[in-house]
Structure 1
């Protein structure tokens, strides 16, 4: 028997698997197997693999391998999200070129993935920074441009002075750039947008097709899209006659309007300030806010603002109310103007109290008088309308529909729907990205680059240091062009695209990555998509996932795909932290996975990640591996499995009935666990089975059937160890990863079930259904991996575990 030595075993199988082409998806139309598209969110090449990669890809790879063994033809591709600001900043810091830095990191990560034993189909590898890829990113831009979904406008943006580029709101954290920590300012720029708002309602409606997404991700997307129903109401500026529409979800409070507020960016503000004699005061506010990130505006103090010296006429009662400009109103939401109803909106209430404005109650609690002068906060609950003309005594909010109908009859407003979602800003004033394929002609304006001239290549000889404009604008060879329409001199657009554009369609390209004539083969997409299982971090809940859904709907409308949702099933992994905090070089708490892989083996790293807890929960590396010099427990377990399987394979002896029963119960249980991504529970069951195999062997019994099943079930989780045992110990000529997943005999697997109570320090924390024949060790392991029990333990040291199988387990913590 060979000693368990992952340093010798694992590299040998990496080379063998590649030579055998083990993980290539079949495109044979006569292949009878059902298809399974296992997709991992592709990595950004910022260096070698980190702990987050090790966790996420261990889970995704387990899903793919499990599908292979269950008879699927599996597509499990890999690529790199290779464009982006981090590469450019790193290149500037190191005095190298972004391309060199990026591709060096890609090769390093590719080598690490191979060492980790990932079951990727390497023939489908792609990089978004390859011209062969971004040619089609540019083509997709032109398709959106043709359909009126890509447009250019002057708009305020978050600007990082150090990186000299626009940042999305999500890239501004507490007023500073998430990448470099520089204070972000506001800057007005002419930029490109994708009109995702045209798809807002469809993005909401089609959530019914997301049949297996984490509920929190669905909720985050719903909130980000933010549908609001209400009324659009027309006010008029008394001094100028300008009509100003506002959107309100509470038209039942129109009779309580006592002031009117514009966002500082609203185009009417300068003219109205001029009419009211307040230009200097208004401009001072505008100038000061120019140095404030857009994100900070959402938390602006409600009391700040400037009276413009003009009045708005309330259409429901003809009252003239003062008009202000204030930072708490955002141009991005609604119409950029709001009616102030201080009695029933908290921000309006604080603004009114600070300025001595009237607070008028128009909705009061049933049967209760409400003194406006005595109010300390706004009343925004249901009640009865008062001081509201024809609607006095009508219950609210049931009255909202009646009020909207009345507004429509009177010609004063209409029913309306608005969304929090804004159009997608895709312009970036940096070098390392896909150039926007537009030429600006003095005569013909924005002209699309002809498709046959794609890709618009990114030149290598560019001074990409930040300089307040796109580095491409300083490259004469790139900028100077001819208009495709008239042939006269023109200028290329010098912005590059947001890298989320690249990642919004890569999963289509995997279906036919070498196609030289199309972004993707529609027939290939029809064969493989929608994706069977998507795996990645919850940090992409809004941007990447929302943009990918948008792109898919556009492609559906173009007739290129036959579905509207690319990922019906989504699995999120937790974050790997250290000592309760995110890993970062500045904190000095970074643990690199590859040195641990080289020392203890890739299977050990994978099992450690998957056994640490529920896949969607965070993993605190300090708690699960506090001593880097100590042999990991799963490594020692693999050593025991290795020895037991070799021994069982060489012994010709009867197998006890109870071991056979446990084997079949384990097959049933592990199958269910892997279907539900309960990797930690599956591993626990395999440990129980391996311990029973050891006990039978020590008593002189046989265990080959159990050992064979154990190796098959271990294969998706620890592929190297399983392959070594399958071929070398059990003598099989073909790979375990092409073997059939074991089936269980219902008769042997049948067992009485009882409820086991799990306590932590004497308090009931969970109840689990377990086999009546469960051993002390099995009950102990199940209790320790219970999510509710782990939450109650909250990182404390477990002093002892009291087991009264199969009914009770009490976990006692130290202190």
Structure 2
């Protein structure tokens, strides 16, 4: 028996033992209920940070507790291994992205294992492995077969110096390239898309099914999908057979349309531009091509535009109206055109005023003068005026009437529109999944045959950071015969957005080693949906939305039998570190440069500093490396602190003193158990509990504390996962054992075993070691979870607070079955009450049954 708690020694010992015994292998016993516990998998950046530790520890506690509660548990881990950072490393360090990625995966795997996380490593996947991305390509071809993948021209960020496309994250806030410093341009290039818009309504409607998701996440997704109900209207172009289509949620204002605005990129822009206006229009298009989408749509920026010289007809009024182009209209949104109603839209009003365009009032408050000159747009409901046969109708009622009229006349139709756009998945980079199609001059776009998958990433590439994608430079790789006709053809050189990889990985875990199929549908249908998914709120929209989209498509393709991937979602809060911030400059100062912490000052400027808690980062000098904490205190202490400091969904403020507190708690548990063992204590077959009358008061009190802990910890580990209060309950049980007056009783032995068992999901190494010291057989992590005895929870006596004039003076013990009048009598007769009420006039007695008795007295 070890006399001191030495976390590093026991953790290394048990991690090796668990690996040798393979205790975390996913069971195949279908007789048990299943539970799929999943953390969002990480990008292999090289080292874990505290956010990782929090995410994975929360999920590990859930997985371990469910195993002990009789579930067969799937708890896997893998790597979101493609992406831009690896390619940047290749450029900056002269190392191949594959080598950099695999080194980082190995390093992070070692750190995960040091935390004692109960992963089944036989389920491990890495998205950069051909064994995985073969099936990513296969799924892409399923989308292509279903008509859900297509290629079209789209606006992208273009670096004119490096001659390459940039992802949004490669463009700084000033609109410059991260590498060359050039002002980024917007350029039309052929890009691949997935038709997520075909599933917009289903994605929105099915949010109601997600009862186990945070409401704010569902709201964020609903807002991102952005359903609007209104009308699709067409305006004929003068002198042309073409029409300009717009979508509006305000058909009641259509008689007030005095101009149309096209996106500069709209294909009709060249057609409607007159010869006289061509130069002006070209100059404007060139100018705004330098701006990002964010700049063009910023609310606080004046809206700019130019007239094309073209005209359209408002079919409702018959009037000719001018056609403009403007920076605030984007071709990727809606129809790429909007109708200008300056009298009833604030943006249109400002645009019309600055460009001297007509403003026609068509809605007024009831009883107002319809000819009154507007000082600002009127955007509230009202009564229609200057609107033909619809004059006098309330604007809300007129919406439907005008839509029906447009349908009858062939000018438009009722329509729902979504803010959601089709998903652009093309990336002009190397380190990603090659899109498995060939471009043939005869056959067009030809899918790579399934037998030829995966289309492997070639290894002999050079990274310069300039020019087109490295893949486009590899002629031997690009030039291939067409799979259909044999004509010389070219491979697609775009790779897929890495969100594709993470949109289906949770399915592959259920059958991770299958070399013949994407997965066995029976296995996936058995394990999925995921019972509990844990990850950061930053993934609330895109990753989760794309995963839901993939699941619905694969369900429609009859590959799986469920349409939502994650039954319950927990979005854990951030881990924040303490840092010092200059109040004047806003700069962060390392704590080791600060002298007098009573009144911290910036050592360089002398300015006062404030102590703030913010997300950990190197730039804020507030990062804490998980390995440093584990080296000093052990993994169990790191886990206990992460779990105890705050509820899982709240932000957590790192505090070294609180880490020390958890280390002391585990030392206290170690002493309790080892002292029990030193006196001959051990786990023995559980005897039938004595009749309550046969137990002494100390035994009754301790047994009540034991079973209260079982009940409360079990409830805290239920669906809401209040892990911080669960740890607090463990501390209460430890205190009860430390204060117990029945050390030789079987009840005390029950308490020791219960404490170690309840501790196991939270601090798995110390619990395992103590379990074996106690003589337990097998692993504690395969031991049954204890059940609360409801009889033990019932107290024989109650502690009643005695108050005099509202001030607590002491407590008394009374029978649990005492009624209100008897409680008042017992309280009056108590020594505490007599000491304070003797010789005084008793005015009133306030009784709160089971809680307190308050005496109101007068001298």
Q: 1:163 to 1:743 in 2, by over 3 A?
A: farther
The CA deviation string for residues 67-98 of structure 1, in whole angstroms up to 9 with x for no partner, is: 11110000001111111111111222111111
Q: Which residue of 2 aligns with 1:238?
A: 238
Q: 1:515 to 1:699 in 2, by over 3 A?
A: closer
Does residue 1:671 correspond to 2:670, yes or no? no
The CA deviation string for residues 583-635 of structure 1, in whole angstroms up to 9 with x for no partner, is: 333333322111111111111111111112121122232xx23x7xx962111
Alignment of 1:561-640 (within 5 A): 561-579=560-578, 580-621=613-654, 624-625=655-656, 632-640=660-668
Give, in angstroms, the shift of residue 647 of structure 1. Answer: 2.9
Give, in angstroms, the shift of residue 371 of structure 1. Answer: 7.0
Alignment of 1:215-294 (within 5 A): 215-274=215-274, 277-294=276-293
The CA deviation string for residues 336-373 of structure 1, in whole angstroms up to 9 with x for no partner, is: 11111122222112111222323333223344457763
The CA deviation string for residues 756-790 of structure 1, in whole angstroms up to 9 with x for no partner, is: xxxxxxxxxxxxxxxx9xxxxxxxxxxxxxxxxxx
In structure 2, C-alpha distance between the alignment counterparts of 1:122 and 1:92, rounded to whole Å: 32
Q: Which residue of 2 aligns with 1:734?
A: 778
In structure 1, C-alpha distance between the alignment counterparts of 2:851 and 2:518, rounded to whole Å: 59
Contact 1:162/1:466, CA 8 A, preserved across alignment: no
Q: Which residue of 2 aligns with 1:416?
A: 415
Does residue 1:713 correspond to 2:758, yes or no? yes
647-656 or 331-340, larger mean C-alpha shift: 647-656
In structure 2, C-alpha distance between the alignment counterparts of 1:807 and 1:227, rounded to whole Å: 54
In structure 2, C-alpha distance between the alignment counterparts of 1:78 and 1:323, rounded to whole Å: 56
Does residue 1:118 correspond to 2:161, yes or no? no
Q: Which residue of 1 aligns with 2:19?
A: 18
In structure 2, C-alpha distance between the alignment counterparts of 1:746 and 1:542, rounded to whole Å: 44
Q: Which residue of 1 aligns with 2:705?
A: 662
Q: 1:283 to 1:127 in 2, by over 3 A?
A: same
Give, in angstroms, the shift of residue 478 of structure 1. Answer: 1.0
Q: For 1:632, what is the secondary structure of its paired residue?
A: helix
In structure 2, C-alpha distance between the alignment counterparts of 1:715 and 1:318, rounded to whole Å: 78
In structure 2, C-alpha distance between the alignment counterparts of 1:352 and 1:293, rounded to whole Å: 24
Q: For 1:381, what is the secondary structure of its paired residue?
A: coil
Contact 1:715/1:736, CA 8 A, preserved across alignment: yes
Q: 1:283 to 1:807 in 2, by over 3 A?
A: farther
Aligned partner (choices 791, 800, 803) of residue 747 of structure 1? 791
Give, in angstroms, the shift of residue 48 of structure 1. Answer: 1.2
Contact 1:303/1:354, CA 8 A, preserved across alignment: no
In structure 2, C-alpha distance between the alignment counterparts of 1:78 and 1:317, rounded to whole Å: 63
Q: Which residue of 2 aligns with 1:644?
A: 672
Q: Which residue of 2 aligns with 1:74?
A: 73
Q: Which residue of 1 aligns with 2:401?
A: 402
Structure 1: where are the runs of 5+ without partners? Answer: 755-771, 773-805, 809-815
In structure 1, C-alpha distance between the alignment counterparts of 2:341 and 2:480, rounded to whole Å: 55
309-318 or 395-404, larger mean C-alpha shift: 395-404
Structure 2: where are the runs of 5+ without partners? Answer: 579-612, 682-694, 799-815, 817-849, 853-859
Q: 1:515 to 1:88 in 2, by over 3 A?
A: same
Give, in angstroms, the shift of residue 231 of structure 1. Answer: 0.5
Q: Which residue of 2 aligns with 1:501?
A: 500
Q: Which residue of 2 aligns with 1:53?
A: 52
Give, in angstroms, the shift of residue 161 of structure 1. Answer: 6.9
Q: For 1:308, what is the secondary structure of its paired residue?
A: strand
Q: Which residue of 2 aligns with 1:797?
A: none
Q: For 2:740, what is the secondary structure of its paired residue?
A: helix
Q: For 2:530, what is the secondary structure of its paired residue?
A: coil
Q: 1:243 to 1:52 in 2, by over 3 A?
A: same
Alignment of 1:691-710 (within 5 A): 691-696=735-740, 703-710=748-755
Alignment of 1:440-479 (within 5 A): 440-479=439-478
In structure 2, C-alpha distance between the alignment counterparts of 1:163 and 1:614, rounded to whole Å: 48
Give, in angstroms, the shift of residue 807 of structure 1. Answer: 8.8
In structure 2, C-alpha distance between the alignment counterparts of 1:714 and 1:807, rounded to whole Å: 31
Q: 1:174 to 1:541 in 2, by over 3 A?
A: farther
Q: Which residue of 2 aligns with 1:551?
A: 550
Q: Which residue of 2 aligns with 1:798?
A: none
Q: 1:534 to 1:170 in 2, by over 3 A?
A: farther
Q: Which residue of 2 aligns with 1:492?
A: 491
How much is the aligned-residue C-alpha RMSD, in angstroms?
2.7
In structure 2, C-alpha distance between the alignment counterparts of 1:177 and 1:123, rounded to whole Å: 44
Q: Which residue of 1 aligns with 2:806?
A: none
Contact 2:40/2:534, CA 8 A, preserved across alignment: yes
Q: Which residue of 1 aligns with 2:809?
A: none
Q: 1:753 to 1:465 in 2, by over 3 A?
A: farther
In structure 2, C-alpha distance between the alignment counterparts of 1:58 and 1:384, rounded to whole Å: 60
Contact 1:175/1:295, CA 8 A, preserved across alignment: no
Alignment of 1:77-96 (within 5 A): 77-96=76-95
Q: Which residue of 1 aligns with 2:583?
A: none
In structure 1, C-alpha distance between the alignment counterparts of 2:427 and 2:176, rounded to whole Å: 14
In structure 2, C-alpha distance between the alignment counterparts of 1:178 and 1:605, rounded to whole Å: 41
Contact 1:666/1:689, CA 8 A, preserved across alignment: yes
Contact 2:237/2:311, CA 8 A, preserved across alignment: yes
Q: Which residue of 2 aligns with 1:388?
A: 387
Q: For 1:510, what is the secondary structure of its paired residue?
A: helix
Contact 2:703/2:792, CA 8 A, preserved across alignment: yes
Q: Which residue of 1 aligns with 2:810?
A: none
Give, in angstroms, the shift of residue 648 of structure 1. Answer: 3.9
In structure 2, C-alpha distance between the alignment counterparts of 1:34 and 1:19, rounded to whole Å: 26
Contact 1:673/1:681, CA 8 A, preserved across alignment: yes
Contact 1:172/1:295, CA 8 A, preserved across alignment: no
Contact 1:164/1:429, CA 8 A, preserved across alignment: no
Q: 1:82 to 1:422 in 2, by over 3 A?
A: same
Contact 2:186/2:292, CA 8 A, preserved across alignment: yes
The CA deviation string for residues 502-540 of structure 1, in whole angstroms up to 9 with x for no partner, is: 111111111111111101111110111111111111111
Q: For 1:706, what is the secondary structure of its paired residue?
A: helix
In structure 1, C-alpha distance between the alignment counterparts of 2:70 and 2:170, rounded to whole Å: 43
Give, in angstroms, the shift of residue 172 of structure 1. Answer: 6.2
In structure 2, C-alpha distance between the alignment counterparts of 1:462 and 1:227, rounded to whole Å: 45
Does residue 1:681 correspond to 2:725, yes or no? yes
In structure 2, C-alpha distance between the alignment counterparts of 1:96 and 1:718, rounded to whole Å: 39
Count of residue pairs brought into register by the alignment: 751
Q: For 1:703, what is the secondary structure of its paired residue?
A: helix
Q: 1:13 to 1:318 in 2, by over 3 A?
A: same
The CA deviation string for residues 263-287 of structure 1, in whole angstroms up to 9 with x for no partner, is: 1111111221235x21111111111
Give, in angstroms, the shift of residue 223 of structure 1. Answer: 1.1
Contact 1:360/1:372, CA 8 A, preserved across alignment: no
In structure 1, C-alpha distance between the alignment counterparts of 2:752 and 2:163, rounded to whole Å: 61
